[in-house]
Amino acid sequence: MSRTSAELTERFGSPLYVYDLDRLREARRALRAALPPEFTLFYSLKANPHPELARALGEGEGACRAEVSSTGELASALHAGFPAAEILYSGPGKTTGELHEAIGSGVRQFSVESLTDLRRVGAVAEAHGVVADCLLRVNSEAGGASTSIRMTGTPSQFGIDAETLADTAADLLAVPHTQVVGAHFFPLSNSRDEENLISEFRQSIETAARLRDELGLPMRFLDIGGGFAAPYATPGPRPVYEKLRHELESALDLHFPGWREGSVEIACESGRYLVGGCGELRTTVTNIKESRGRKFVILDAGINTFGGMAGLGRLLPLAIDLDAADPAEPGDQMSPVSPAETVSLVGPLCTPGDVLGRNVRVPALAEGDVVTIPNAGAYGVTASLLHFLSRPAPGEVILSGGEVVSATRLDSVRGVLPG
């Protein structure tokens, strides 16, 4: 990025997220290159619903469609210009009110997690006089991957247990004002190992073909999910998936001949891989103290700013860079500064849980230093304990070609409930 931390924080304040659209588009190109060209690619707004990032992913060569799981994400997707009829609405907790808002806005495609979920979609679709296309999210009986965060393959709120589909298929296909058009799989998240990712995708494709052949489930649309990895709060590049495209094509040729000609639309989805590397969090050292032999570096960004998951210990370890003295050229990465000491990086909140990193090796720091947490474009602001202590949200700046094109702050206003 062409702007130093000190320059941007002086202009827009601290803490500050900085997103680079050039890096974002490069990530999309890389993922597109790793997938068969016929694939539909969804951007999962849960990773970062900022409308400017979503808009950039939804435009130009390799444009993504939007996958949302709330009316807030839906509003961001619509604001970013995604056509409502092409948005996929998913999630295990869709309420009647949310469905009225989604269908009333023009959404027609849903991933459903149970028969009751499907019936709720159908009832709201009937009230609007429309028919909703629905994908059955399937909780496979076992997973093909041995690493990463498992989403299904165990007892789960996600998906319909595959072993129950034989008994419920007739009911699922008979819900008024819905048509089951295919299946949705999302068995794992953040798979760093390509072999495990391929194994999981293969199993999903095989399971979909078996459900089609044995139960007669329609399979005009098959979403095999995601699981693409990206470094989070530590330096490093995205994984390169060299075998993925060939392996996907081979599995689909075997189980869905004609898919290349459009007999079935194949989709996958990604969040962190697309946006993780485009963002950095710039935060300022406000205090440094020692307590019983341990050094604490207190930042103006805590778990209210960077990932509520930090409070669960899921961000450790974490890395920071001290801002370079001279502006970098556009596209340059920050030169790493040699670590000098081991500290705990903590935020400003009145809770001992406000810890971003323990035993983190850092350069020598002083009050007022601006430091950068790399690879922070995914699961940042909206994955944080944003309202705790009622501190203001961090700023968010968008760069393109090294220049600032947007500078905003997410705000919330307490309003009066209707009724």
Taking only the tens place, the pLDDT of each residue in 389-411 is 999 999 999 999 999 999 999 99
Instruction: Specify the domain boundaries for CATH 2.40.37.10 within the chain.
Output: 279-326+339-376+379-409
350-362: average pLDDT = 89
Taking only the tens place, the pLDDT of each residue in 19-58 is 999 999 999 999 999 999 999 999 999 999 999 999 999 9
Instruction: Specify the domain boundaries for CATH 3.20.20.10 within the chain.
Output: 35-274
Phi/psi for 359 (5° steps) reads 55, 50
Look at residue 152 in the predicted model and tell me its pLDDT.
52
CA-to-CA dists, residue 146 to 181, 192, 251, 318, angstroms: 30, 11, 20, 25
Query: Taking 70 as the threshold, does the pLDDT of residue 331 lie above it?
Result: no
Taking only the tens place, the pLDDT of each residue in 123-176 is 999 999 999 999 999 998 765 444 445 445 565 677 899 999 999 999 999 999
Among 204, 217, 43, which Cα is nearest to 138's? 204
The average confidence (pLDDT) of the chain is 90
328 or 123: which leads in pLDDT:
123
Phi/psi for 148 (5° steps) reads 85, 180
Query: May I ask the CATH class of domain 35-274?
Result: alpha beta
Angle of helix 115-127 versus helix 96-104 axis, rounded to 10 = 50
The pTM (predicted TM-score) of the whole model is: 0.92
Beta bridge partners of 397: 18, 407
Look at residue 155 in the predicted model and tell me its pLDDT.
53
C-alpha span between 87 and 314 (Å, rounded): 30
Topology adopted by domain 279-326+339-376+379-409: Lyase, Ornithine Decarboxylase; Chain A, domain 1 (2.40.37)
Residue positions counted in the chain: 419
The rounded Cα 322 to chain-centroid distance in angstroms is 27
Q: How many CB atoms lie within 10 A of CB 170?
A: 10
Q: Are 139 and 117 in contact (CB under 8 A)?
A: no
Query: Taking 50 as the threshold, does the pLDDT of residue 330 lie above it?
Result: no
Q: What residues have CB less than 8 Å from 93, skipping those under 6 apart?
A: none
Look at residue 321 in the predicted model and tell me its pLDDT.
83
Structural tokens at position 203: 């199993």
C-alpha span between 396 and 281 (Å, rounded): 9
With left for phi above 0 and alpha for psi between -120 and 50, is residue 62 left, alpha or beta?
left
340 or 271: which leads in pLDDT:
271
Look at residue 308 in the predicted model and tell me its pLDDT.
61
Element (H, E) at 196: helix 194-215
Query: Taking 90 as the threshold, does the pLDDT of residue 339 lie above it?
Result: no
Look at residue 124 in the predicted model and tell me its pLDDT.
98
Query: Taking 60 as the threshold, does the pLDDT of residue 206 lie above it?
Result: yes
Q: How confident is the model at residue 201 (pLDDT cuts 50, 70, 90)?
A: very high
